[in-house]
Amino acid sequence: MTQDDAKRLAARNALEFVEDGMSLGLGSGTTSAIFIRELGERVKGGLKVRGIATSAASQTLAESLSIPITNFDETPELDLAVDGADEIGPGLALIKGGGGALLREKIVESAAKKFIVIADSSKLVKQLGRFPLPVEVIQMALPNVTRKLKALGLNPTLRHHADGSRYITDENNFILDCAAGEIPDPAKTAADIRAIVGVVEHGLFLNMASFALIASDQGVTKVDR
Ligand code: 5RP
């Protein structure tokens, strides 16, 4: 099975948890895009849901598929959020933000009663840290935050686009990707990063996922926290 096939399998499996009338958090990235497209098919077939997207790209995709979009004024709490991840460690500790959407992802997923992670099995790790940990930073604070992340030994690098321009998030911030190496104590690393003034959010999602649907040649495995 190709990685794309596995992503599709996980995304389709997550649709089984979607019920008529639900409010949904719509994730970002390639796996989530498959989920949103499949959801669009169901909406075309008469399923009634509404969603809040975790990125401008996912919102555009959802709107193109006529999936109704809501907001936190109308819908303060979501029934279910479905999103991918860059790494899935023990206890369903996640690294997210490879696609740059970590801030809205954390906002949306923390407002959901249930958060399902969908991924192919390459995302499972014994310890987080192989994937660079994204940290979203206020633009003017970049030099200070960079220095402080370096002092923590987290090896930050400013994210750029392929054309060399600086990557700017949907919320107009920079992203520092931290080649931290192994992260033995994600809660401590999260607290250390959060204590730096100028950091908006980091890509460690701890104690947030309800369960993960992991697809491989063996099919889909539900991994509980
Ligand atoms: C975006 C994310 C994505 O969920 C993560 O990057 C996984 O993406 P993909 O499904 O393309 O592997 O956190 O900010």
Encode pLDDT of 42-96 as tens digits. 999 999 999 999 999 999 999 999 999 999 999 999 999 999 999 999 999 999 9
- Nearest ligand 1 atom to alpha carbon 203: 13
Check residue 136 and give its pLDDT: 98
* Measured distance CA(131)–CA(125) in Å, rounded: 10
> Per-residue b/e over 71-102, b at no fewer than 16 CB within 10 Å?
eeeeeeebbbbbbbbbbbbeebbbbbbbbbbb
Check residue 37 and give its pLDDT: 98
Give this prediction's pTM: 0.97
* Measured distance CA(134)–CA(151) in Å, rounded: 16
- Is the minimum distance from the CB of 132 to ligand 1 under 6 angstroms? no
Among protein residues, the one whose CA lies closest to atom 1 of ligand 1: 99
**Which DSSP string corresponds to 84-116?**
--SEE-GGG-EE--TTS-HHHHHHHHHTEEEEE
Non-local CB neighbours of 145 within 8 Å, separated by 6+ positions: 135, 137, 138, 156, 176, 196, 198, 199
DSSP state of 29: S
- Is the minimum distance from the CB of 84 to ligand 1 under 6 angstroms? yes
Phi, psi values for residue 78, rounded to 5°: -100, 150
* Measured distance CA(99)–CA(31) in Å, rounded: 11
- Is the minimum distance from the CB of 31 to ligand 1 under 6 angstroms? yes
Check residue 95 and give its pLDDT: 98
Check residue 112 and give its pLDDT: 98
Active site residues: 105
Q: Which residues of the chain have pLDDT under 50?
A: none
- Nearest ligand 1 atom to alpha carbon 123: 12
Check residue 25 and give its pLDDT: 98
**Is residue 79 within a helix (H) or strand (E), and if so which, with residue range?**
strand 78-83
Give the CA distances from residue 43 to residues 50, 125, 131, in Å, rounded to whole numbers and listed in that order.
10, 35, 35
- Is the minimum distance from the CB of 30 to ligand 1 under 6 angstroms? yes
